[in-house]
Structure 1
Amino acid sequence: MEFINQLLESTEINGQTATLRLLLSFFVGMLVGLERETHNQPAGLRTHILISIGATIVMLISIFIPQTFANFQNGDPGRIAAQVVSGIGFLGGGAILKFGANVKGLTTAASIWAMAAIGLAVGAGMYSISLIGVLVVLFALTIMNFFEKRFFKERTLRKVEVTIKKKHTNLKALKDIFKTFDVKINSTGFDRNVHEATDKITFLVGVTPFLNVQQLADELEKEPGIVTVLVEIIQ
């Protein structure tokens, strides 16, 4: 037990302290990686472990060089580590996927960046901060995810096109129907066909997974002057 305490308190980078920090880095990376893996994210278990270990190694090198080589006594240990903060953004960008108007992977990209910071902290021997950091990250990814889904409904974007005879156009009535079905209107487009005397109104809306599209279309068709109703998923 005394040996472990000595390793934890030691500021010297040697084989034993480096091994301890790399093992701890592997552990914290695995915790966050497992959470992302359960959500089928593009950056999962192995990615987070490698990021954490890589950042830890960079931090170990940053401390080891000025500590070991006399010619680098005035070196700044933070210079190499600082490149991780900016460089990890390129890797995080690869986890962000765009599906039409929908963007996925922002949370995973943020967890990658946070994991790199935690890895640097482990490499610097900031054990308490590292463990608190990984606990906060896990809390944000799990408990806050439940809170977010509970109080902020998950919505997907859909486009609803309604063609209606010009004299019967009533935007307020259409918006009231959307409100009844808990459909959030993001934007509204208007296109008038003079020759056919019709108006085509395009709604970009956010809908919940529980929306019954057929019932929504049936309700819209009840409005006077409705010619066609088109509902499609934005991909």
Structure 2
Amino acid sequence: MLTNLEMCIRLMLAASLGSLIGFERERLLWAAGLRTHMLVCVGSCLLMIVSAFGFQDALAMPHTELDPSRVAAQVVSGIGFLGAGSILLRGEVIKGLTTAASLWTVAAIGLAVGGGLYVVGTAATVIILIILVAIKPMERIYRNRVQVHVLKLLAPSRAVTLSTVNEVLGNRASKVKQFIVEKGEADDTDSITLELKRTSEAQAREILLQLLKIEGVQEDTAGQ
């Protein structure tokens, strides 16, 4: 049986590891940020402790067995509702899958720490941070290599839709891989992101100039 101090140490370590991943999501202003990741990690750690050590008195009863893995399995499946809540449909593009995955892995870290696997939990935290932070520049390099360009625009609210883009670009509309519309910082404005596939720098510039002909549309240089 663990001492109360050991249990508290596990909870604090789970909170610390969860905060490291949560801070990275908080930096990108995602809804599931620092506090959410800390709560998920501490909660799953607590459930693991309760599952493994909270029924010691019951084990003294005849014909009683304990299976801590049953609670762990329920945590893994139950965390799905938080992950689903962090996935958003913006325009015609789904965003938030990475944050949902980070919540799921943070729950796993909490289970590991709750089970006393400190080294594994810490190693998993480092690996996850590398995936979230260090791999992102590699994605940009890959996109540049396969000629993917991202355009950032500002427009009056609801002035630019996917049908508008298709009408303005004509045949070039097939170059649009992603079209995302978000609420702009100013009232009654939209922040628009277009990801173009298989386009050279010159072609991307020509498409940008076509889009800037739409009334009220301007390039979002701050969002680049």
Q: TM-score, normalised by structure 2?
A: 0.69
The aligned residue for residue 20 of structure 2 is 31
- Check the 8 A contact 1:32/1:48 in 2, yes or no: yes
- Check the 8 A contact 1:13/1:60 in 2, yes or no: no
1:140 matches 2:146: no
Q: What is the CA-CA distance between 1:103 and the residue it aligns to?
A: 1.3
The aligned residue for residue 209 of structure 2 is 215
Write out per-residue CA displacement over residues 3-53 of structure 1, whole angstroms, 9 at most, x where no aligned residue: xxxxxxxxx322011011011001101100111000011100000000000
Q: What is the CA-CA distance between 1:184 and the residue it aligns to?
A: 2.6
- Check the 8 A contact 1:67/1:73 in 2, yes or no: no
* Alignment counterpart, residue 101 of structure 1, candidates 88, 92, 96: 92
Alignment partners' CA distance in 2, 1:163 and 1:25: 51
Q: 1:19 to 1:161 in 2, by over 3 A?
A: same
Q: 1:49 to 1:215 in 2, by over 3 A?
A: same
Q: 1:63 to 1:100 in 2, by over 3 A?
A: same
Structure 2 stretches lacking a partner, 5+ long:
152-160, 179-193, 218-224
Alignment partners' CA distance in 2, 1:77 and 1:93: 26
Q: How does 1:73-92 map to 2 (within 5 A)?
A: 73-92=64-83
Alignment partners' CA distance in 2, 1:140 and 1:217: 35
Q: 1:112 to 1:217 in 2, by over 3 A?
A: closer
- Local SS of the residue matching 1:75: coil
The aligned residue for residue 43 of structure 2 is 54
Alignment partners' CA distance in 1, 2:7 and 2:53: 10
Q: What is the CA-CA distance between 1:64 and the residue it aligns to?
A: 0.7
Alignment partners' CA distance in 1, 2:109 and 2:136: 21
Q: What is the CA-CA distance between 1:68 and the residue it aligns to?
A: 4.0
The aligned residue for residue 4 of structure 1 is none
Q: TM-score, normalised by structure 1?
A: 0.66
The aligned residue for residue 187 of structure 2 is none
Q: 1:111 to 1:214 in 2, by over 3 A?
A: closer
Alignment partners' CA distance in 2, 1:58 and 1:154: 45
The aligned residue for residue 161 of structure 1 is 167
Structure 1 stretches lacking a partner, 5+ long:
1-11, 165-173, 188-204, 219-228
Q: What is the CA-CA distance between 1:130 and the residue it aligns to?
A: 0.2
Larger radius of gyration: 1
The aligned residue for residue 13 of structure 1 is 2
Structure 2 letter corresponding to 1:107:
T
Alignment partners' CA distance in 2, 1:26 and 1:186: 39
Write out per-residue CA displacement over residues 107-157 of structure 1, whole angstroms, 9 at most, x where no aligned residue: 000000000000000000001100110001100000011211232246579
Structure 1 letter corresponding to 2:31:
P
Q: CA RMSD in A?
A: 3.2
Q: How does 1:221-232 map to 2 (within 5 A)?
A: none
1:150 matches 2:144: no
